[in-house]
Chain A
Amino acid sequence: MFYYSVKRILMLIPVLLGMTLIVFAIIHAIPGNPALTILGTKASPEAVRQLNQSLGLDNPWYVQYFSYLKDILTGDLGTSIQTHAPIASEIWPHLAATIELSFVAMIIAIVVGINAGIISAWKQNSVFDYTAMILALIGVSMPVFWLGLLEQWGFSIKLGWLPSIGRDDIRNGVDPITNLYLIDTLLQGRLDQFWMVIRHMILPSIALATIPTAIIARMTRSSMLEVLKSDYIRTAKAKGQRMVWIVYKYALKNAFIPILTVIGLQTGLLLGGAILTETIFGWPGVGLYIYNAIQYRDYPVIQSGILIIAFIFVMVNFIVDLLYGLIDPRIKYK
């Protein structure tokens, strides 16, 4: 396990370097002069030249790349053109909002999806199986924005059960500590606010969980069907083991590799900021943050946003890789 982990960590280095290079290249490929964008089109050539020099934009590209790399490594993501605030501190509350929402959505997706998939495979061709798979098909096909609007219309407007927008109540705002509101409210002992935060999360997290739930359920079902036919399941039955135990312990662990893969990919996607869901539910996440930056042509923010999303995606998949090794002892040796 140790060598496997070390190998995976070493393999991260070229991936992360390549990632920074691509982000750097994309931003450089965008036509237009940053100095002109900052100073405005009526700036004098002299002012533009001076700004170029002070920003280091007159250096060759590799010098610029290495200074960019140095900045990233020291945690300096640059300054927003729009707000003049350092991006690293500005992006965190948004990232925290996205992480919190994605986490809750993935918990829902994993619990519901895996169980639905397991029972569908176990009771193959039963009413449950058919119902679950039709729902899963609807789940992957339903546009998230449409589902979100339906939820708001039904549960907020018609029934008035749940808030439709935001992370908290404006009149009863949460004092951020970590910016993960579930944790913050608990740290402050504000159980009323904790409950309020949960109520705000219900609709967006369900909307966000729909597609991952459906994908996980279908993957679990097909993977479990395969495993349940295998000889070692028959051996476990011949030992006199209970079917529930066989399904949830023996079969699931064997079937888990492909399930884990889709969980990893879906988590990565959600953490990248679900722009549609965040927009509909007014969720101040990273997706909404970047979307606003694009509208203002705030290049440093866009660049850092992309970099952070890519970084999260790589890290999630790295964790998934490590988990593979934990689940299947055969993987370490390959």
Chain B
Amino acid sequence: MLKMSDPVLKVEGLKTSFFTDDGEVPAVGGIDFEVKEGEILGIVGESGCGKSVTSLSIMGLLPSPPGKIVGGHIYYQGEDISHAKESKMRKLRGNEIAMIFQEPMTSLNPVFTIGEQLEEAIKLHNQRLPKKEIENRSVELLKRVGLPRAKELLKEYPHELSGGMRQRVMIAIAMSCNPKVLIADEPTTALDVTIQAQILDLMIKLNKETNTAIIMITHDLGVVAQMCQRVVVMYAGKIVEEGPVKDIFNHPKHPYTEGLIQSIPDLHGKKERLYTIKGSVPKPGSITKGCLFAPRCEFVMDKCRVNTPELSGGEHKSRCFLHQEQGRKEVRT
């Protein structure tokens, strides 16, 4: 029996690779994290660090071939679903674990009405529900995500809606079966800043109302600060730092996290050129020895290039020799 404090979703040593003509390309190199009921967990990192691949692995939606889970486990309510059958996954998807995507403009099917797409999501997991009931629930959902004219909206097509409205519809679809976990893959990246804030508020509101756990995948630390309780920082397919949001913002232990925080524009600080982390994420599989961040790190030491640091620490973990040597001292002073 699942206890309240047990994680609703737990990822253990997940390894996902893509098998291309040039051989195996590891996109996710063994990550562990968990989300508890009602919790909002942030997964942060640059493009290409394996955030989306992680979420697709959980959903069982990896493009296969070439993508494949090559190691580790994904536990949903204590049950390993990393190699579950397609029929089993179909029952989970949308019903227990739902997902919203980065591109609201292209995530809805352009030739079907909002109603058809929303009602389908409800009907898929509630086969016996009468038609009238499904329609009422659709209207209810659209109202809940803050869309006006819910009834008329059901008959409209996606191209008649703005980006923000479409993302609200996507959220309504995702919430249609009261999932236990909602994976949001950069849900606000493609939206205007004001709309971004509205969508984030909406997600916080739904989280409070329904107690749905949210995995918020983003490259925007601002979003994390606003929404999440805990955060996982990913770099090149590995977790480099993990902990409560406050700790991470106030006392980052990994130079990469530090860099990400530095590169947030500050309204009140001194006006100077915005900090950037030099270089870019290494190609998956290109670094085989030492710390993955070593080539870009300002504090790189000799041993960083030879040995691979482990993720260590209590509630606030990091994968860095610097921190392990300096104890709880901050990376930058």
Cβ contact of A234, chosen from B101, B111, B120, cutoff 8 A: B101
The residues in A between 231 and 245 inclusive whose CB is less than 8 angstroms from any CB of B are 231-232, 234-242
Pull 6 A–B residue pairs with CB atoms less than 8 Å apart, ordered by A.
A234-B61, A235-B107, A235-B170, A238-B59, A238-B99, A253-B112
The residues in A between 40 and 95 inclusive whose CB is less than 8 angstroms from any CB of B are none
Question: Which residue on chain B has the smallest CB distance to residue A249?
Answer: B112
Q: Give the shortest distance, in Å, between B54 (CB) and chain A (any CB).
A: 15
A-chain residues with CB within 8 Å of residue B110 when the two chains form the complex: 232, 254, 328-330
CA distance A126 to B206 in the complex (A): 44
CA distance A235 to B176 in the complex (A): 14
B-chain residues with CB within 8 Å of residue A330 when the two chains form the complex: 110, 157, 159
CA distance A330 to B110 in the complex (A): 8
A-chain residues with CB within 8 Å of residue B120 when the two chains form the complex: 239, 241
Q: Are B111 and A240 in contact (CB under 8 A)?
A: no
A-chain residues with CB within 8 Å of residue B138 when the two chains form the complex: none
Asked whether B93 is an interface residue with its Cβ less than 8 Å from the other chain, the reply is yes
Asked whether A327 is an interface residue with its Cβ less than 8 Å from the other chain, the reply is yes
The residues in B between 190 and 211 inclusive whose CB is less than 8 angstroms from any CB of A are none
Q: Are B124 and A231 in contact (CB under 8 A)?
A: no
Q: Are B92 and A238 in contact (CB under 8 A)?
A: no
Q: Are B107 and A240 in contact (CB under 8 A)?
A: no
Q: Are A329 and B101 in contact (CB under 8 A)?
A: no
A-chain residues with CB within 8 Å of residue B92 when the two chains form the complex: 240
Contact with B along A218-240 (1 / 0, CB 8 A): 00000000000011101111111
CA distance A232 to B109 in the complex (A): 5
The residues in B between 79 and 125 inclusive whose CB is less than 8 angstroms from any CB of A are 89-95, 98-99, 101, 103, 106-112, 120-121, 124-125
CA distance A36 to B69 in the complex (A): 85
Q: Are A239 and B101 in contact (CB under 8 A)?
A: no
Q: Are B111 and A238 in contact (CB under 8 A)?
A: no
A-chain residues with CB within 8 Å of residue B109 when the two chains form the complex: 232, 235-236, 250, 254
Q: Are A250 and B112 in contact (CB under 8 A)?
A: yes
Central interface residue in B101, B107, B125, by most chain A CB within 10 Å: B107
Question: Which residue on chain A has the smallest CB distance to residue B102?
Answer: A231
Cβ contact of A238, chosen from B98, B112, B159, cutoff 8 A: B98
CA distance A232 to B110 in the complex (A): 8
Q: Are B157 and A240 in contact (CB under 8 A)?
A: no
A-chain residues with CB within 8 Å of residue B107 when the two chains form the complex: 231-232, 234-235
Q: Are B94 and A239 in contact (CB under 8 A)?
A: yes
CA distance A54 to B333 in the complex (A): 109
Question: Which residue on chain A has the smallest CB distance to residue B93?
Answer: A240
CA distance A317 to B140 in the complex (A): 43
- 13 additional A-B residue pairs with CB within 8 Å, beyond A235-B170, A253-B111, A253-B112: A232-B109, A235-B107, A235-B173, A237-B93, A238-B93, A238-B94, A238-B101, A239-B93, A240-B89, A240-B91, A240-B93, A242-B90, A330-B157
CA distance A259 to B274 in the complex (A): 51
B-chain residues with CB within 8 Å of residue A254 when the two chains form the complex: 109-111
CA distance A38 to B117 in the complex (A): 68
Number of B residues whose C-beta is below 8 Å from A? 28
B-chain residues with CB within 8 Å of residue A329 when the two chains form the complex: 110-111, 157, 159
Interface residues of B (CB under 8 A from A): 59, 61, 89-95, 98-99, 101, 103, 106-112, 120-121, 124-125, 157, 159, 170, 173
CA distance A254 to B111 in the complex (A): 7
Q: Give the shortest distance, in Å, between B10 (CB) and chain A (any CB).
A: 20
Q: Are A239 and B124 in contact (CB under 8 A)?
A: yes
- Known contacts A254-B111, A329-B157; is A230 also within 8 Å of B106 by CB? yes
Question: Which residue on chain A has the smallest CB distance to residue B183?
Answer: A238
Question: Which residue on chain A has the smallest CB distance to residue B111?
Answer: A253
CA distance A234 to B63 in the complex (A): 10
A-chain residues with CB within 8 Å of residue B90 when the two chains form the complex: 240-242
Question: Which residue on chain A has the smallest CB distance to residue B121?
Answer: A239
CA distance A217 to B120 in the complex (A): 29
The residues in A between 276 and 334 inclusive whose CB is less than 8 angstroms from any CB of B are 327-330
Q: Are A328 and B61 in contact (CB under 8 A)?
A: no
A-chain residues with CB within 8 Å of residue B95 when the two chains form the complex: 240
Q: Give the shortest distance, in Å, between A210 (CB) and chain B (any CB).
A: 31
CA distance A236 to B110 in the complex (A): 12
Q: Give the shortest distance, in Å, between B76 (CB) and chain A (any CB).
A: 14
A-chain residues with CB within 8 Å of residue B111 when the two chains form the complex: 253-254, 327-329
Question: Which residue on chain B has the smallest CB distance to residue A257?
Answer: B111
CA distance A234 to B102 in the complex (A): 12
B-chain residues with CB within 8 Å of residue A241 when the two chains form the complex: 90, 94, 120, 124
Q: Give the shortest distance, in Å, between A332 (CB) and chain B (any CB).
A: 10
B-chain residues with CB within 8 Å of residue A230 when the two chains form the complex: 106
CA distance A241 to B122 in the complex (A): 11
Question: Which residue on chain B has the smallest CB distance to residue A241?
Answer: B124
CA distance A250 to B173 in the complex (A): 16
B-chain residues with CB within 8 Å of residue A328 when the two chains form the complex: 110-111
A-chain residues with CB within 8 Å of residue B99 when the two chains form the complex: 238
A-chain residues with CB within 8 Å of residue B94 when the two chains form the complex: 238-241
- Known contacts A232-B107, A327-B111; is A239 also within 8 Å of B61 by CB? no
B-chain residues with CB within 8 Å of residue A242 when the two chains form the complex: 90
CA distance A253 to B106 in the complex (A): 15
Question: Which residue on chain A has the smallest CB distance to residue B65?
Answer: A125
Q: Give the shortest distance, in Å, between B287 (CB) and chain A (any CB).
A: 30
Cβ contact of B125, chosen from A234, A240, A253, cutoff 8 A: A240
A-chain residues with CB within 8 Å of residue B125 when the two chains form the complex: 240
B-chain residues with CB within 8 Å of residue A234 when the two chains form the complex: 61, 101, 107
Question: Which residue on chain B has the smallest CB distance to residue A254?
Answer: B111
A-chain residues with CB within 8 Å of residue B61 when the two chains form the complex: 234, 237-238
Q: Are B91 and A232 in contact (CB under 8 A)?
A: no
Q: Are A231 and B159 in contact (CB under 8 A)?
A: no
Q: Give the shortest distance, in Å, between A253 (CB) and chain B (any CB).
A: 5
CA distance A137 to B123 in the complex (A): 42
Cβ contact of B106, chosen from A231, A239, A250, cutoff 8 A: A231
CA distance A235 to B92 in the complex (A): 14
